[in-house]
Amino acid sequence: MPQVVRYTREDNIGVITIDYPPVNAMGHPVRAGLMEALQQGQGDVRASVLLLVCEGRTFIAGADIREFGKPIQAPWLTEVVDALENTDKPVVAAIHGTALGGGLETALGCHYRLALASARLGLPEVKLGLLPGAGGTQRLPRLTGAEAALDMITTGRFVPADEALSLGIVDRVAEGTDPKAAGLAYARELAEQNAAVRRVREREDRLAGDRGSDIFARFRASVEKKAKGQFAPFRCVDAVEAAFTLPFEEGLKRERELFSQCMESPQRAGLIHAFFAEREVAKVKGLSRDTPVRDVQKVGIIGAGTMGGGIAMNFANAGLPVTIVEVAQEALDKGLGVIRRNYENSAKKGRISQQQVEERMALIHGSLSYEDLREADLVIEAVFEDMAIKKEIFGTLDKVCKPGAILASNTSTLDIDEIASVTSRPEDVVGMHFFSPANVMKLLENVRGSATSDEVKATVMALAKKIGKVGVMVGNCYGFVGNRMLHKRGAEATALVDEGATPQQVDKVLTDLGYPMGQFAMSDLAGIDVGYRIRQERRKAGEDIPPSWMDKLAEQGRLGQKTGAGVYRYEEGSRTPVPDPEVDRLIAEFRQEQGITPREISDQEILERCMYVMINEGAKILEEGIADRPLDIDIVWIYGYGFPAWRGGPMFWADQIGLDRILGTVKGYRDSVGGEQWQPAVLLEKLVAEGKGFADL
């Protein structure tokens, strides 16, 4: 086994090499090895400059996630960084790949830094509810001044090498792919010049300009807007500010205190849960890791509407050719036009180049004929939510598509088995449920039918990864995991308005919890007609769905943002919901028709009825095996509906509240509000009886 950290010498340069695959994470063997190698370098009289470099694909890419949640073994990272900085020979870090978190903090302990042009640097601790705790908040501003340090530390943003150079984080950028060669050349130059030891902790020049400025107040205000309700970003600002108000050693102490506060915060626990859950969902229960995956090179999409267009963009972005089939030329032209506009907007914002716009558009072909899908390896249907239409389409696909092609539906609610039943190959049929806007939202809910083959399941999970989504495999039932829970929340939210709440009151409770938008602002975004069509379908199927004021909106053509008015009103060109007295009148009229006397409704009742109804439904979903694990539900909600990751997802959050308390409240609403949605899930009762939580499943 190669040594994790080794010391060698090339002429007068002492070389410390870290070799800890896969990403040279800052685990205990690296920390201990670094201390030892550093001592060797210090004592090596023939080495005048020391070079720190990593083997493999990257510089130290952060903490070792295997150590999360375990007691840290000495030496601590802070000791290692201090030891590097206190060395009395110049130490040079040569960075390639990514220098992240503790990796960048280690580089900041070195006296000189070189990065390959392809390298990226960042302090992403905030994304896990933390702040850089090994001096990063004190050293970075000493190189960059307040603005850049605050930006990088409060957002966790990665900066490319050239930006790192202009910000003063690195001293030199080198071309090429060999960090050791570039590092050695730089180290030799420094040795020749008799370059001095240069400790970041001693630098004061970049601090002076920002002392006493209003920049910290400005950042707190911006964090308040962008990261409302979150704990760590504010502590990040506090820590960076300490670099400007306290001497270095005291600043470090302050950093340590703030770091501990973050460690103890429940938000940190939520974010860590979300972090591991995201990795865990890729492992599908009962699906062996070596299940063969079908090769998907060509994609077909049916329907160039809201979803079809966004779905097509995902595949074109990944370099796969896409054929979109529509019923009429006009709809096709409109759909392709929207796709182009979306790409042009990304180009305007500098996210992609004009050339990429053209390359991606060239991968997307429109057609009015199913014949053009003969070569497709995967076809995703995204037409109206209507079972009869979908069955007709799958009948056609069965005739047209080549053997082995995967036939997927983007349906939000409908029965995948019923759709598959019209084909001669139900083993190739699967749900691929994207979320709107499909080119943006990270979730892909893959729905297994009762006949879906393992190969098809494995392929759609792999495809999710390929197009940059988080795939979650779920079972087939009305609404699957996400919408089944959402529709319970929606019905409860609508009922709360029937009973006396306003839509804005309901939405505010949800945004205060941390959702980016409330129930009704979301309905306006998705289109009021979407839910209306679903309710009408279910009424047609004989279900007892009571009338609601939301139906009235749809019937009046108030379809949401797309018509400028829905539950809220929208100014021309704006997406900001504005409460509308027209809607208040419509609601009042509805209450009168139904003989409802409105009452005062508390925020607590809104929170419980909107959220606990979802948790109860989530428990039923688990009990029925629709979701494999509570963490699958958590990921669906974090990536599909913007549930705040720092609360860990609805099921994790439920454990934090306490399932006994939730069950008690659910029973209370069963007795006062009634309805099957308030029948406690058997699993919930069982867990409470056993004194367990969802995490114990």
- Please list the active-site residues: 105, 125
Q: Does 331 bind ligand NAD (CB under 6 A)?
A: yes
How far is Cα 627 from Cα 630, in angstroms, rounded to an integer? 7
Q: Of the candidates 443, 530, 550, 554, which one interacts with ligand NAD according to CB under 6 A?
A: 530
Cβ distance to ligand NAD smaller for residue 48 or 306:
306
How far is Cα 535 from Cα 517, in angstroms, rounded to an integer? 22
Cβ distance to ligand NAD smaller for residue 393 or 601:
393
Cβ distance to ligand NAD smaller for residue 48 or 410:
410
Strand 13-18 with 5-10, pairing? antiparallel
Cβ distance to ligand NAD smaller for residue 532 or 646:
532
Q: Which residue has the CB atom at the shortest distance from ligand NAD?
A: 305
Q: Does 486 bind ligand NAD (CB under 6 A)?
A: no
Alpha helix (H) ranges present in 349-424? 354-363, 387-400, 416-420
Buried b (16+ CB within 10 A) or exposed e, 96-108: bbbbbbbbbbbbb
**Interacting stretch for ligand NAD, rule CB under 6 A, among 224-232, 323-331, 498-506, 677-685?**
323-331
- Residues 332-391 within binding reach of ligand NAD (CB under 6 A): 382-385, 389
To the nearest whole angstrom, how small is the minimum distance from the Cβ of residue 611 to ligand NAD?
A: 22
How far is Cα 488 from Cα 482, in angstroms, rounded to an integer? 10
Count residues binding ligand NAD (CB under 6 A): 25
- Residues 426-455 within binding reach of ligand NAD (CB under 6 A): 434-436
Amino acid (one-letter) located at 69: G
- Residues 301-320 within binding reach of ligand NAD (CB under 6 A): 302-308
Tokens (6 digits) for 587: 């609601």
- Helix then strand then coil, in percent of the chain rounded to 5, is 55, 10, 35
To the nearest whole angstrom, how small is the minimum distance from the Cβ of residue 478 to ligand NAD?
A: 12
Kindly list the distances between the CA atom of residue 410 and the CA atoms of 56, 77, 397, 580, 621, in Å, as whole numbers in the listed order: 40, 48, 15, 33, 20
What's the longest Cα–Cα distance across the chain? 93
How far is Cα 372 from Cα 361, in angstroms, rounded to an integer? 18
Backbone angles phi, psi at 583, to 5 degrees: -70, -40
Q: Does 400 bind ligand NAD (CB under 6 A)?
A: no
How far is Cα 493 from Cα 540, in angstroms, rounded to an integer? 23
To the nearest whole angstrom, how small is the minimum distance from the Cβ of residue 450 to ligand NAD?
A: 20
How far is Cα 157 from Cα 152, in angstroms, rounded to an integer? 5
Q: Of the candidates 125, 255, 278, 326, which one interacts with ligand NAD according to CB under 6 A?
A: 326
Q: Does 397 bind ligand NAD (CB under 6 A)?
A: no
Amino acid (one-letter) located at 205: D
Cβ distance to ligand NAD smaller for residue 144 or 413:
413
Backbone angles phi, psi at 541, to 5 degrees: -80, 5
To the nearest whole angstrom, how small is the minimum distance from the Cβ of residue 532 to ligand NAD?
A: 12
Cβ distance to ligand NAD smaller for residue 154 or 409:
409
- Residues 47-66 within binding reach of ligand NAD (CB under 6 A): none
**Interacting stretch for ligand NAD, rule CB under 6 A, among 282-290, 358-366, 405-413, 628-636?**
405-413
Q: Of the candidates 48, 138, 410, 519, which one interacts with ligand NAD according to CB under 6 A?
A: 410
Cβ distance to ligand NAD smaller for residue 179 or 300:
300
Q: Does 412 bind ligand NAD (CB under 6 A)?
A: yes
Kindly list the distances between the CA atom of residue 658 and the CA atoms of 393, 488, 634, 675, in Å, as whole numbers in the listed order: 47, 21, 16, 23
Q: Of the candidates 393, 405, 583, 659, which one interacts with ligand NAD according to CB under 6 A?
A: 393
Contact present, 656 and 513 (Cβ < 8 Å): no
Residues that bind ligand NAD (CB under 6 A): 302-308, 325-327, 331, 382-385, 389, 393, 410-412, 434-436, 526, 530
